C-alpha cells in the first residue's frame, strides 16, 4: 500500500473510485468533472491517494477555500482496512497545518461514512438543505485527540 499526494494524472482513476462507491453515490456522475477535480487538487486545496499494485483504491481531498472536506472515498472492496483512516488523518494533519479554521463535511445519514466520522471525532452540527448530516472538526479538537 502506498499513500501519496494526488497528482493531476490520477484524476481518471480518482473518478473511477468515485463512481464505484455503494454509499453517497452521485445522483448524476456528470456533476463532478475532471476539471472540478483538478481545481480542488491544484487551486483550492490538496488531495491524497492510496495505491495498491498501481491501482488507486482510495482518495481524499481537502478544500481550503470553503474549509471543507470535498471528498474521501474508497473502492468498496478496500473498506475496513485502515485506508480511509490513514487518508483522513493525513488530510486533516495537512489542513490544520495550513489554517486553524474549523473544517466541515456532509454525508448521507445512516451510512458507514456517518459512523466513520463519529468515531473519528467529528461533531454533528446539523442537516444540510439536501438532508445530509453536517459535521465539523475544530483545530483544537483535532490537535487534542
**Domain regions of the chain by residue span:** 2-143
Instruction: Identify which of 126, 112, 122 has the alpha carbon closest to the alpha carbon of residue 84.
Output: 112
Place of cell 495550513: 98
* Pairing assessment for the beta strands 2-5 and 45-52 based on DSSP bridges: antiparallel
C-alpha cell at position 16: 473511477
**CATH numeric code, 2-143:** 3.40.630.30
Q: For residues 113 and 44, what is the distance between their CA atoms, to the nearest angstrom?
A: 23
DSSP-derived secondary structure letter, 44: I
pLDDT at 78: 93
Q: What is the mean pLDDT for each group of 10 consecutive residues in the chain (145 residues)?
A: 96 89 58 85 96 96 96 92 96 97 95 93 95 96 90
Amino acid at each position: 500500500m502506498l499513500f501519496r499526494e494526488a497528482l493531476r494524472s490520477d484524476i481518471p482513476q480518482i473518478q473511477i473510485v468515485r463512481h464505484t462507491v455503494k454509499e453517497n453515490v452521485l445522483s448524476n456522475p456528470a456533476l463532478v468533472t475532471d476539471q472540478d477535480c483538478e481545481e480542488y487538487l491544484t487551486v483550492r486545496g490538496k488531495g491524497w491517494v492510496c495505491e495498491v499494485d498501481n491501482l488507486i483504491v482510495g482518495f481524499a481531498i481537502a478544500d481550503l477555500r470553503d474549509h471543507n472536506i470535498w471528498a474521501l472515498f474508497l473502492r468498496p472492496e478496500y473498506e475496513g482496512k485502515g485506508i480511509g483512516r490513514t487518508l483522513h488523518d493525513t488530510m486533516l494533519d495537512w489542513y490544520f497545518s495550513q489554517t486553524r479554521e474549523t473544517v466541515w463535511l456532509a454525508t448521507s445519514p445512516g451510512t458507514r461514512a456517518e459512523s466513520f466520522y463519529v468515531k473519528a471525532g467529528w461533531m454533528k452540527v446539523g442537516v444540510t438543505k439536501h438532508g445530509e448530516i453536517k459535521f465539523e472538526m475544530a483545530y483544537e479538537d483535532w490537535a487534542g485527540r
